[in-house]
Structure formats: structure tokens, C-alpha cells
């Protein structure tokens, strides 16, 4: 998910929460068990973003593209949208579940005392129905302590929050850093030039922020420090440019999982044999995710990234179609789901049914404890 916060869709949705009023809920979602033929694998998208008012739109997209369940990583926090997010999700009868977002902005005023308060609130967060936590990339890049210093990903002052999450069985999804190319000068030689030209503020070149390597190393130290806490390194473990690095992390830390959100374009550049071998070695540790962002209006969408204009119906079809093609076929040299992320083509993995079942659904069902809430489990 782009931005130090929760992206414009969620911000607009929060602004309109009061309009939802009795959210009880004329949200208009289909709220039905999906009718996808069961010869197709079940699919849990472990990484989407939607404000409460956008949940009906999300469910329509799920119905259209064969997604059984979606995990909404933009749930908000107590007193800051979480109740509304959970109410909207509840109306879908298991189709949408929610992760809560610890308010890192509170650290600037509250310091370590704010961490203590957040940790104490986690039991209530879980009791209300959140399935885990999501930390945005502002951890390490934007959130600050009262003295103005950046809050490091592995800052020991945050330990109580991560420890308490583990004790409560709340998995923690964490976005650290960004594509490596975002630290390079924004010139035509930058492989992300198209994306950075539309969003120049996404570049870290020349900015007073930690290096990509420093952020990634801090992420691994955070995972290592809390062996009883389950971590999901989003965007393929925050290092899709280097699957061997991700594999080493998975080897070293049994509590680490990764998702594929917004990184099929990057993964598809690598030799399919390399990625297949990683999935065979760690079949239970990779979660399918798209980084689909959904607003209220039909084409108010983020398809892994955003361009200068809203996407079209053809863009939506390509986003999902190329994603399935990557995981399910051995096709070569085809257009990837999010062209603005780079001018290259990808080749498919051709995963067998057992691996697909784990990747698409079983791993997320286990990590987020969806056995009793998923539509097929009732």
C-alpha cells in the first residue's frame, strides 16, 4: 500500500464514516458464498485495502474475479475507524476480515508511553474481531519520537507491542522500505522511472532516510527478536528483487511468512525455476496477495500501484488475468499485471494444484485463523 498512512481511499472513507450512520448496514454487499466453480482453487487475498464505505465495491470485485476472502490491511485503530471497518466486514459474513493499524503517529507526542497504551489495547482489538496487525512503511521512514528522530523498525522501545501481539496470537504484517530503485536517482535509467515520474515524492534519492539495506536489516532483527510472534513480510518479504535473500530469511526465521502483494511484476522477472524451488522448499510460508486498493467509485482502484489516470476495465482484467497466468501457467514473455512498475515482461510458474491450494488459501487460513469464519467453513 502506498503512502505514510493509509492511502487516499481510506482517508476519504474515514471522512465519510459518519455518513454511514447506522452502518447496520445498507452497505449493499452481496454477502454470499462465492459461486466460483470448486474445480478452481479457493483464493484468499491476504493483502487488500478498503475503507468501510468501499467494502461493497470490494466484494463485487471479489465475485467477479474469483476471490473467496480478502484480508483488509487498512482497518484503522480504536477510535480511529476500526469499529467501522469491522462492522463493514461483518456484513460480508466472512468474505472480508480486518487487520488493525497501530497509530504510529501517536509516538511523536506520546513517546514510549504511547507504545505502552497501544500494547494494552491489543486485547480489545482482538476481542472486537481484528485478525492481526499491519504496520505501514512509516515505521522506519516517517514515524518519529518526540525529539524528532525517526522510529527505527527495530527500536527496542516498541518491543512490548510486538511481544503482546505474539502473546495474543495476532499475526503482524509489516511493510518495510520500498523497491530498491526508489533510492536511485529518478532518471530514464531508473527501472521504476515511469512510476516515479508520476509519483516523484515516492523517491528517496538524496533524502535523509536510512538506506534500503539498513531498513531491511532492521526488519530482520525485529523478526528475530520475537520468535513467538508471527510476522508477514509483505511485498514478498520486503525484498522481491532478491528471492535468494528472502529464502535465507525464511530458512532462518520459522515465524516469518511473506506475501506476494504488488510484486508479481518483480517476481516474474526471475527464472521460474528459482521461484518454484522456493515455494517447494517453503510451501506453507508464502501467502497470496494483490495489494488491491478499492474506493467507493467503480474505477477508484489501486492495482498494485497507481498511475496518472484511473484504471480502465481493461486494466482490471489484465491485473487479475496476468496474476493467475503467472502462478498457474508456464507461459513466457507476457505483460505483467501492473505495467507502470516497469517495462519488462514476465514468465509463469506453472504451479501444481497442491502448491496453488496452499499459496492461494490454506496458508492464509492458518495464519489468520480463518477456519471458522471463511464462507466455506460455516
The whole-angstrom distance between residue 137's C-alpha and the CA centroid of its chain comes to 11
Q: Encode pLDDT of 76-104 as tens digits.
A: 999 999 999 999 999 999 999 999 999 99
Could you give the CA distance from residue 135 to residue 153 in angstroms, rounded to a whole number?
10
- pTM score: 0.90
User: What is the three-class DSSP state of 15?
Assistant: helix
Q: Encode pLDDT of 191-202 as tens digits.
A: 999 999 999 999
Could you give the CA distance from residue 39 to residue 226 in angstroms, rounded to a whole number?
39
Could you give the CA distance from residue 202 to residue 222 in angstroms, rounded to a whole number?
24
Query: What pLDDT, on a 0 to 100 scale, did the predictor assign at position 40?
Result: 81
Could you give the CA distance from residue 237 to residue 235 in angstroms, rounded to a whole number?
6
The set of cell numbers assigned to 378 is 460455516
Average pLDDT for residues 244-271, to the nearest whole number?
A: 98
Q: What are phi and psi of 133, to 5 degrees?
A: -120, 150
Instruction: Categorize the per-residue pLDDT at 25 as very low, low, confident or very high, splitting at 50, 70 and 90.
Output: very low
The angle that helices 159-168 and 212-225 make with each other, rounded to 10 degrees, is: 50
With a cut of 90, say whether residue 16 has pLDDT above it. no
Arithmetic mean of pLDDT over the chain: 91
Superfamily of structural domain 7-14+42-377: Metal-dependent hydrolases (3.20.20.140)
With a cut of 90, say whether residue 248 has pLDDT above it. yes
Amino acid at each position: 500500500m502506498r503512502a505514510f498512512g493509509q492511502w487516499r481511499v481510506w482517508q476519504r472513507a474515514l471522512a465519510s464514516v459518519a455518513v454511514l450512520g447506522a452502518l447496520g448496514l445498507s452497505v449493499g454487499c452481496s454477502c454470499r458464498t462465492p459461486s466460483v466453480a470448486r474445480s478452481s482453487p479457493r483464493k484468499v487475498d491476504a493483502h487488500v485495502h478498503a475503507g468501510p464505505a468501499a467494502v461493497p465495491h470490494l466484494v463485487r470485485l471479489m465475485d467477479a474475479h474469483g476471490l473467496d476472502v480478502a484480508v483488509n490491511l487498512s482497518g484503522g485503530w480504536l477510535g480511529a475507524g476500526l469499529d467501522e471497518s469491522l462492522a463493514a466486514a461483518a456484513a460480508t459474513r466472512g468474505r472480508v476480515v480486518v487487520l488493525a493499524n497501530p497509530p504510529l503517529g501517536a509516538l511523536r507526542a506520546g513517546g514510549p508511553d504511547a507504545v505502552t497504551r497501544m500494547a494494552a489495547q491489543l486485547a480489545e482489538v482482538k476481542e472486537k474481531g481484528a485478525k492481526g496487525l499491519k504496520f505501514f512503511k512509516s515505521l522506519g521512514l516517517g514515524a518519529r519520537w518526540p525529539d524528532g528522530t525517526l522510529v527505527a523498525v527495530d527500536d527496542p522501545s516498541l518491543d512490548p507491542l510486538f511481544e503482546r501481539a505474539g502473546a495474543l496470537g495476532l499475526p503482524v504484517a509489516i511493510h518495510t522500505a520500498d523497491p530498491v530503485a526508489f533510492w536511485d536517482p529518478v532518471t530514464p535509467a531508473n527501472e521504476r522511472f515511469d512510476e516515479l515520474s508520476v509519483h516523484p515524492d515516492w523517491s528517496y534519492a538524496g533524502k535523509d532516510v536510512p538506506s534500503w539495506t539498513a531498513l531491511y536489516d532492521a526488519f530482520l532483527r525485529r523478526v528475530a527478536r520475537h520468535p513467538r510472534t508471527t510476522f508477514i513480510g509483505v511485498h514478498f518479504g520486503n525484498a522481491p528483487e532478491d528471492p535468494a535473500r528472502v529464502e535465507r530469511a525464511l530458512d532462518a526465521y520459522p515465524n516469518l511468512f511473506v506475501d506476494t502483494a504488488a510484486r508479481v511484476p518483480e517476481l516474474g522477472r526471475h527464472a521460474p525455476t528459482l521461484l518454484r524451488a522456493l515455494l517447494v522448499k517453503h510451501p506453507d510460508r508464502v501467502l497470496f496477495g494483490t495489494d488491491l486498493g478499492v474506493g467507493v467509485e467503480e474505477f477508484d482502484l489501486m492495482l498494485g500501484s497507481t498511475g496518472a489516470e484511473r484504471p480502465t476495465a481493461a486494466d482490471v482484467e489484465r491485473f487479475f488475468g496476468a496474476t493467475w497466468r503467472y502462478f498457474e501457467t508456464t507461459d513466457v514473455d507476457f505483460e505483467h499485471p501492473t505495467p507502470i512498475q516497469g517495462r519488462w515482461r514476465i514468465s509463469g510458474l506453472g504451479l501444481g494444484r497442491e502448491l496453488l491450494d496452499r499459496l492461494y488459501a490454506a496458508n492464509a487460513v492458518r495464519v489468520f485463523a480463518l477456519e471458522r469464519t471463511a464462507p466455506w467453513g460455516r
